[in-house]
Amino acid sequence: MTEIRLTPKKLSARWSVPLATLSQWRWNGKGPQYLKLGKHISYCIEDVEAFERANLRQDTTCMGDAAKGSVFAKDKITHEDKTMMKKP
């Protein structure tokens, strides 16, 4: 089976994010795993899809298990934390 790989340009188009964002994520250790051979960078489609699944969100106010650690997350308090805070 041939492994499907995406270039940064193709991943940028898939997610509608600037190439600079992907570059910053690589620099900061965020985003999906990638392969770098010389100057060439590519992303394995399985890693991209796993990253997408890990960043799914139920809504804009809380974070479930899948969204913990998301690079898209703005709120550091999890849904479980909010639920626990409401209990007497």
- pTM for this model (two decimals): 0.66
Measured distance CA(35)–CA(32) in Å, rounded: 10
The confidence score (pLDDT) of residue 75 equals 47
| Residues 45, 61 share a domain | no
| Residues 77, 44 share a domain | no
| Residues 36, 1 share a domain | yes
Pairing of strands 5-6, 40-44: antiparallel
Q: Is 68 helix (H, G, I), strand (E, B) or coil?
A: coil
Domain extent, residue 73, equals 57-88
| Residues 41, 16 share a domain | yes
Q: What is the mean pLDDT of each run of 10 residues along the chain (88 residues)?
A: 90 97 96 96 96 90 57 52 53
